[in-house]
Structure 1
Amino acid sequence: MPELVIGERRRDIGDFEVGRVLPFARRRMIGPFVFFDHMLPVQLPAGVPRSADVRPHPHIGLATVTYLFAGEIMHRDSVGSEQPIRPGEVNWMTAGRGITHSERFEKARAEGGPIHGIQAWVALPEADEETDPAFFHHGSDELPVFEEDGVWGRLIAGEAFGHAARVRTHSPLFYLHWELTPGARVTLPTEYPERAVHVTAGAIEVGGQRYEQGQMLVFASGAPVDIRALEASTVMALGGEPVGPRFIEWNFVSSRKERIEQAKADWRAGRMKLPDLDNAEFIPLPPDPGTPANPMS
């Protein structure tokens, strides 16, 4: 049985609705995962306004990963990257000492179409918090995929079940996408001290208890976890070694409060470089940044 169940907190952000899972008051992180938003399925009309886009904004001290089930998002950043994010692909952005980027719905604006995905942030270990910013793209054909007995899985990042993803990470972790047919069974990796699953669609059973779309189940270290799909289900599994507590304000993550204050001052003063290919506008620092308000990584 899970030691904690976290439900999505719905947030209306204009053209989108998201289900925020992490951070949560009783569980701030799962391994190094410090932020987890479910972008709920939506059908965007052609001509969706530019106000739906996420204008250039900054990050420090983390890596971001946007994983889509449907749709396309155009990413541009301050290290010169311009890369569409498509279903099943990985765009892993290491912010380190500082990066800025935008995410825009250009394909949907031109053609209309769906958007559905997960936004996650991974805190960097203290030794790597000030690493150089970088961006890595991996196509769906570059990621390990496994299929057996009604289970289809893709390893997005890290290591699990003898597979290793090509995504460069900075601490031991795993991040999995499972598609389960009714009655299919999976088990969580046991080698990581912190583990969780998110029921992104459908319903599953753990320990004789039913759990449904929008719930994240957090499990104790070392305990075997057997999961059975009660219907066709999409499940995201994640976890890893903890990296220590983190401060989070707006889009900044750090082990040191004073580093976040410096990042806020740098952004306010215009000292962080904007994306070369998207520098005509940006999101100003909110008056009270608080915890992340922006669902896009």
Structure 2
Amino acid sequence: MLEMVIDTRCHDLGGFEVGRVLPFRSRRMVGPFIFFDRMGPVDMPPGIPRATDVRPHPHIGLSTVTYLFDGEMTHRDSLGVEQVITPGALNWMTAGAGISHSERFDGLREGGGFMDGIQAWVALPEAHEEDAPAFDHYAAGSLPRFSEDGVDGRLIAGSAFGLSSPARTHSPLFYLHAELADGARLALPDGHAERAAYVAKGEVEVDGRRYRQGQMLVFASGGRPLLRAVGPARLMLLGGEPLGPRWIWWNFVSSRQERIEQAKADWSAGRIRLPPLDHDEFIPLPGAPAAEPTPMS
């Protein structure tokens, strides 16, 4: 049963606009997914200014999950990792007790190009919120694929449809990219308490009603909702087990509000290391007095 529909809202990162889906005022999380941004689709012109890049910034208490359909980005973090992100590959950065990273359009800067992808955040269970930070890269060819009746899919993380991704996660979840031919049908995987489908391209039909690109469909637990493509469509399916309430402020997520206050102080004081391969600039802590932590559940 369809529980709600979340429309994308435009959000400016300070030079690059994204389409924000989660968190939403009446639906903060889907399983452990606490954040979901669409990067594009956008045709970036030659000579992309560096102001478009996302400069070094910090995270705690979460994993960033970056997945591209088109284009290229370069990730650099405080562990010393430098990784070019390309379509179909998975980049999973676990912030744990604290990490900083940047995301730059180095590969597109001179000649420009088409850019499209998703960055999600997955909250960490309380037992892993203070884990040592880590970064894992999974090439597109290492992620399980399936193809049947007009549906071509890639399991990015977790378990679904009898498949298991090699991606190292910290709680039960699934995250899946599917391309549907016109008229193809895809049921949401069962066995997960919370589930959603994001329409990345085209339109789908559920129970006789159509939903368009940029909408996230959140389903009640139980059953196997069926989505039918109206023309070629691209879907991202996601969900898993809920982790309980979380606080979120800027790039920090925690089960404890005081931990976010500590992270704010740590970034302001320079106690979270900058990426050694990208340390000449950074995003300062937002100073708006109205920006107070918000509980997420």
Distance 1:14 1:96, change over 3 A: closer
The 2-side partners of 1:150 and 1:23 are apart by 32
The 2-side partners of 1:10 and 1:124 are apart by 26
How far off is 1:140 after superposition?
A: 0.3
Paired positions, count? 292
SS in 1 for 2:136: strand
What is the 5 A alignment of 1:199-210? 199-210=199-210
Contact 2:13–2:54 at 8 Å: present in 1 too? no
2:249 aligned residue: 249
- The reply on whether 1:31 has 2:46 as its aligned counterpart is no
What is the 5 A alignment of 1:1-297? 1-13=1-13, 15-288=15-288, 290=291
The 2-side partners of 1:207 and 1:141 are apart by 35
SS in 1 for 2:263: helix
Contact 2:62–2:129 at 8 Å: present in 1 too? yes
Contact 2:67–2:90 at 8 Å: present in 1 too? yes
How far off is 1:18 after superposition?
A: 1.7
Contact 2:155–2:175 at 8 Å: present in 1 too? yes
How far off is 1:13 after superposition?
A: 4.3
1:69 counterpart letter in structure 2 = F
TM-score normalized with structure 2 length: 0.96
TM-score normalized with structure 1 length: 0.96
Contact 2:98–2:133 at 8 Å: present in 1 too? yes
Contact 1:16–1:40 at 8 Å: present in 2 too? no
The gaps in structure 1 that reach 5 residues or longer are 293-297
The gaps in structure 2 that reach 5 residues or longer are none
Contact 1:16–1:42 at 8 Å: present in 2 too? no
Moved more, 6-15 or 257-266: 6-15
1:295 aligned residue: none
How far off is 1:45 after superposition?
A: 1.7
SS in 2 for 1:258: helix
SS in 2 for 1:234: strand
The 1-side partners of 2:45 and 2:123 are apart by 35
1:22 counterpart letter in structure 2 = L
The 2-side partners of 1:221 and 1:29 are apart by 14
Q: Deviations over 1:19-73 (max 9, x none)?
A: 1110011110000000001112111122111101111100000000111110000
SS in 2 for 1:111: coil
Contact 2:31–2:241 at 8 Å: present in 1 too? yes
Distance 1:73 1:93, change over 3 A: same
2:291 counterpart letter in structure 1 = G
Q: Deviations over 1:259-288 (max 9, x none)?
A: 000000000011111111111111000103
